[in-house]
Amino acid sequence: MLVSRIAKRRGRFELDVEFTAAAGSTTVIVGESGAGKTSILRLLAGLDFPDRGLISVGGAVYADTESETAVPAWQRDIAYVPQDYALFPHLSVWGNVAFGLEALRVSSRDTGARVEEALGRAGILPLRDRRPAQLSGGQQQRTALARALVLNPSLLLLDEPLSALDLQTRRTVRTELRELLRGLSCITVYVTHSPLEALVFGSRILVVDQGRISQAGSRDELLRSPRSRFVAELMGTNLFIGQRAADDGAGSPRVRTPDGEISVGDDPGDGEVFATVSPREVTLHRDRPEGSAQNVFCGPILELVPEPPGGERLRVVLGTRPVLVAEITREAVIGMSLAEGMTVYATFKATGVSLYS
């Protein structure tokens, strides 16, 4: 369990956040650049210290301004993967991954075994003698993760782990990373500016804006009830995660998700795929629609929110599986006399789905 209640002032910028995170979970901190995301990670890592507050991991107090506790980074049971990895350029892949164990004075036999295992799990054992400069972006990222995970930390801190990669690599690495994080028993804190990464990785999402947490919750909670324009913009999209469904030979390609299949316009390709649908692409019907729309979901209206407040359009949050958000005009709401609790049909076209992988 991570408990953190931190306040820090740097010039005009003021950071003041409070959150907890459970072991085995991934908490995503999402926000625009300059919102204070990296500052939070540096405080958790012990590279900076709060002006006021408390940081504890699994009962061990790392910082407490009340009792004047300030444990430096090297004495904390954490691992930190910075944004551009900061692999030591003068050490080989092996030397980088062994660095932490050597600092802990683990016996050289155990170090050898653990490094070999970490490199094997990351699939980079054949690269053990390479220097970082001789690695591709994806290989550097795996080395940085192996260097962190070989320490079996209680708290894993990831700062924009995908942003240094080109789009091609990002797809495969993202899928691997999702699998990897799912299997970890430590607390993971994942920082990103990308709302999609937040939706994909976060079992819990903290939206940070100007040094404050503007909203915290699960993916569905944030989609269902964004409490600010900022969060709505960040989260204002419907997301499906799945894989290409077996081709039935008729009609458009389909993506199979845990909540059912959806039709998409383009070929989703192999492997994990993310499909997004803008709320404006979702239309609502009182009765089961007939005709061409391939994607039809049925569920109760959970919430009707003017968007923006007092504006001409409304966000309609639906209790479908998965949760869907539609954005329609006020006229349409009045025309269909929609109300909260009413069961409706939501549809969107296959061509309205954007694939993201």
Partner 1 sequence: MTSGAARFRRLSLGELALRLAVALLGTLLLLLLGLPLLSLLVRVPAGELLGRLRDPIVVEALRLSLITSTASTLAIVLLGLPVAYLLATSEFRGKRLLEVLIALPMVLPPTVAGVALLTAFGRTGLAGGALGALGVELPFSTLGVVVAQMFVAAPFFIGATSAGLAEVDRRYLDASATLRAAPVRTFFRVMLPLALPSLLAGAAMGWARALGEFGATITFAGNMPGVTQTMPLAVYIALQTDVEAAIALSVVLLLVSLAVLLSVRLAPSGFTALGVRAGFSDR
In sequence order, which residues have a C-beta less than 8 Å from that of residue 164 and are 6 or more positions away?
83, 84, 85, 137, 140, 141
Distance CA 251, CA 357 (A): 22
CA–CA separation, 82 and 59 (whole Å): 25
284 contacts 346 by C-beta, under 8 angstroms:
yes
Handedness of CA 100, 101, 102, 103 (dihedral sign): positive
CB 178 to partner 1: min, Å: 23
Letters for 40-79 (x = contact with partner 1 by CB under 8 A, - = none) are -----xxx------------------------xxxxx-xx
CA neighbours within 13 Å on the CB side: how many for 127? 24
Q: Is 132 in the site for partner 1 (CB under 8 A)?
A: yes
Rounding to the nearest 10 degrees, give the CA dihedral for residues 58, 61, 66, 72. Answer: -140
The residue among 97 and 275 lying less far from partner 1, judged by its C-beta, is 97
> Rounded to an integer, what distance in angstroms lies between the CA atom of residue 160 and that of residue 142?
14
- Which candidate, 222, 263, 217, 223, places its Cα nearest to that of 242? 263
| Least Å from the CB of residue 23 to partner 1 | 19
Separation between Cα atoms, residue 22 and residue 18, nearest integer Å: 14
Residue range at the interface with partner 1 (CB under 8 A); choices 126-134, 169-177, 196-204, 265-273: 126-134
Q: Is the peptide bond before 72 cis (omega within 30 degrees of 0)?
A: no
Taking CB under 8 A as the rule, does residue 103 contact partner 1? yes
Is 344 among the residues that bind partner 1 (CB under 8 A)? no
99 contacts partner 1 (rule: CB under 8 A) = yes
Helix axes 137-149, 93-103, angle to 10 degrees: 20
Residue whose C-alpha is closest to residue 306's, from 314, 316, 298: 314
Contact (CB, 8 A) for 354 and 277? yes
Binding partner 1 (rule: CB under 8 A), the pick from 49, 80, 230, 345 is 80
Query: CB 113 → partner 1: shortest distance, Å?
Result: 18
Beta carbon nearer to partner 1, 95 or 299 = 95
Interacting residue with partner 1 among 12, 33, 90, 290 (CB under 8 A) = 90
Stretch that binds partner 1, among 95-103, 170-178, 209-217, 316-324 (CB under 8 A): 95-103
Q: Which residues of 324-344 are buried (b: 16+ CB within 10 A; e: fewer)?
A: bbbbbeeeebeeeebeeeeeb
Q: Select 84 or 176, whichever has its Cβ closest to partner 1.
A: 84
Q: How far is the CB of 22 from partner 1 (least distance, A)?
A: 22
- Selected range binding partner 1 among 19-27, 131-139, 204-212, 262-270, rule: CB under 8 A: 131-139
Q: Which position among 29, 54, 87, 208 is part of the footprint of partner 1 (CB under 8 A)?
A: 87
Question: Binding partner 1 by CB under 8 A: which of 108, 134, 168, 228?
Answer: 134
Residue 18 binds partner 1 (CB under 8 A): no
Residues facing residue 263 across a β-bridge: 254
Buried b (16+ CB within 10 A) or exposed e, 145-184: bbbbbbbebbbbbbbbbbebbeeebbbebbebbeebbeeb
Task: Identify which of residues 38 and 263 has a Cβ nearer to partner 1 in the complex.
Answer: 38
Among 11, 12, 133, 270, binds partner 1 (CB under 8 A): 133
Residues binding partner 1: number (CB under 8 A)? 28
Residue 166 near partner 1 by CB under 8 A: no
User: Which residue, 41 or 301, is less far from partner 1 as judged by CB?
Assistant: 41
Cβ of residue 103: shortest distance to partner 1, in angstroms? 4
**Which amino acid belongs to residue 302?**
L
- Classified as helix, coil or strand, 130 is coil
Binding partner 1 by CB under 8 A: which of 14, 18, 51, 84? 84
Determine if 147 is a binding residue for partner 1 (CB under 8 A): yes
13 contributes a contact to partner 1 by CB under 8 A: no
Residues that bind partner 1 (CB under 8 A): 45-47, 72-76, 78-80, 82, 84, 86-90, 99-100, 103-104, 131-134, 147, 151
